Structure 1
Amino acid sequence: MRFGFVTCVQLGLSCMEAIYDVGGKLDLAITLEDDMAQAKSGRIYLDDFCGQNGVDLLKVRNINNQTAVAAIQERSIDWLFIIGWSQIARAELLASPTQGVIGIHPTLLPVGRGRAAIPWAIIKGLDQTGVTMFKLDDGVDTGPIIAQRVIPLAADCDAGKLYAAVNDAHVDLIREVFPRLRDGTIEPRAQDDRFATEWPGRTPQDGSIDLAGSVFEAERLVRATTRPYPGAFVDRANGRLVIWRAHRADRIADTTEMTGAQPPVIHFSDGMLVVDEWEWQEKSN
């Protein structure tokens, strides 16, 4: 079997390293041109890795261009991994490897197809989530499942902790599955669409806390949108309180006004949210 890998972020590079950790090798790596996505979170460059391991490296502006398709076909790539890549692979690219294209999605598919998987898992109060390695098709996260890894969600799990666990699970899945891909012994199974759910994308404005809602929902929103995400917040006339950490309380002896000068307490009909870590952003004129 011959393998290719498409990535431009640290998570993808960690997965590439994992392939070599289990005695595998890559025959092609594809990444973005150096001047693209320079501000992207986790952006990395593959020159050193590919040079050290003798991997052919191709830099593209779009994964679907003819240069990428031709490179895959000319090298007779059997399996192509695409991890940490925002461009959607089109039909011609998906058909270029002889066996198919592999992606990893941070939910237990078919649950949670779509976007913002880490925040949604916490907002929805799930007791577990996971990652799914699957064969890409022309749908959105609908392809046959190759393997899955379950991630339990503790009551205090936040986006930072889950983000790290998801990244670790990506690497673990690569180490577990790659030998079977190389030996041709995997048996992908179709997703059961009866259990499919779709989660929509989220924007920074979706971090707005509903003061007329529940303290339980607010506390989950804080955990779901903390770093590396933009944070939950409450807007006031003179600025915005961005909340990175908070905990619920039934009562508190010393309540303070939400001015940004003292640790704020936010009152709800069913309890209070005590803010432990916050950032006050003054309103610009």
Structure 2
Amino acid sequence: MKLVICAYHNVGYRCIEELLRQGAEISLIFTHEDSPTEQIWFSSVRELAEANKIPYLTSSINEPENIQRVRQIAPDFLLSFYYRNMIKPELLELPDKGALNLHGSYLPKYRGRVPVNWAVINGETETGATLHYMVAKPDAGDIVDQEKVGIAFTDTAHDVFGKVNEAAVTVLRRAWPRLVDGNAGRIPMDLAAGSYFGGRKPEDGRIDWTKSAVEIYNLIRGVTHPYPGAFTKLSGKKLIVWSARPLAGSGTPGQVVSLNPLCIGTGNGLLELHRVQFDGGQETEATACLFTESDRFA
């Protein structure tokens, strides 16, 4: 079996490791150059390829010369593990046995971008990993296998990503022998029963204090380290909130209700701030900052 793999991030790294463990022959890997504006907290697919002497490219698989490379390889499978580019339909038609993607949600829920962050932000109690065939529409092809993971109320997106990473390896470990033997099942995806979400930008982390304390808390844990963080403003100065917890109580949205602990009013309940960071400053305990009870966040 000849494989062409598109991969990035920890899911890409671990899934390639699993395929190598099972003796797969990888002809070529497409991955990405790390962005200088992104915190790189995950394992390097490029370094894994180098360590195993597997040819790799960081240019897009969709470039004409790369489409031709894939055509010349004539792979049995084209596999995508957290690759960040949509793969053109003409590439999906090249592998003899199919093109499959490993997605970080329990499809059809959370199709699209950053599914782990969205699941946490929306207060879900479970998500998962799904191996499915690729079609022109994103995350919409027949499902081969999937695994659920739980989301605890205290989990951050980073915590959940670790669980999804392990679920992805579990799914691939089960499914790969069946795919090779040609007896893997295919379950049509019911898109009407699911959901689709787009990517997120740092600006999307702005706190809306008219929302409930629980909703704001979910946003904070959904975009905290290693992501850019949820933020608010005080007298025009940006303040990142890295950790907090929701409490019962009431207060004007955005208004400081108490200083120790530092509690802020929301649309429903109070939010106790724990770790914060003013723009250009150092992360610190919220109670160490010189807030006053007249302060109001916006």
TM class by smaller structure: 0.7 to 0.9
TM-score (norm 2): 0.82
- The number of equivalent residue pairs is 272
Unaligned runs of 5+ in 1: 257-261
**Residue matched to 1:37:** 34
- Residue deviations 1:111-140 (CA, integer Å, cap 9, x gap): 222223112212222221111111110001
Aligned partners of 2:57 and 2:93: how far apart in 1?
20
3-state DSSP class of the match of 1:27?
strand
1:135 matched to 2:124: no
Per-residue CA shift, 1:179-216, capped at 9, x if unaligned?
Answer: 11121111222111331322233221121111122112
Give CA deviations for 1:87-121 in whole Å, capped at 9, x if unaligned.
21112211111122111111111122222311221
1:107/1:130 contact within 8 Å kept: yes
Cα shift at 1:240:
1.7
Deviation string 1:252-282 (CA, Å, 9 cap, x unpaired) is 9x922xxxxx863212253211112221225
| CA offsets 1:156-196 (integer angstroms, 9 cap, x no match) | 22211111111222222221211111211112221113313
Structure 1 residue 72 and structure 2 residue 76: aligned?
no
Counterpart in the other structure of 1:200? 198
- Selected match of 1:62 from 60, 63, 81: 60
Maintained 8 Å contact 1:234/1:241? yes
Q: Quick one: distance in 2 between partners of 1:263 and 1:207?
A: 23
2:243 matches 1:240: no
Tell me the CA shift for residue 149 of structure 1.
0.7
- State the partner residue of 1:16: 16
- In 1, distance between residues paired with 2:178 and 2:237? 55
Any stretches of 5+ residues in structure 2 without a counterpart?
251-256, 282-298
- Per the normalisation by structure 1, the TM-score is 0.85
Q: Structure 1 residue 51: deviation in Å?
A: 5.8
Structure-1 separation of matches of 2:93 and 2:165:
27
Alignment-derived partner of residue 166 in structure 1: 164
Report SS of the residue matched to 1:265: strand
Report whether the alignment pairs 1:27 with 2:26: yes
The alignment partner of 1:171 has SS state of helix
1:4 is matched with 4
Q: How large is the Cα RMSD of the aligned pairs?
A: 2.5
Percent identity (aligned): 26
The residue that corresponds to 1:255 in the other structure is 258
Equivalent of 1:214, from 209, 212, 216?
A: 212
- The 1:116–1:49 alpha-carbon spacing in structure 2 relative to 1, beyond 3 Å, is closer
Relative to structure 1, the CA distance from residue 248 to residue 25 in structure 2 (aligned partners, 3 Å threshold; closer, same or farther) is same
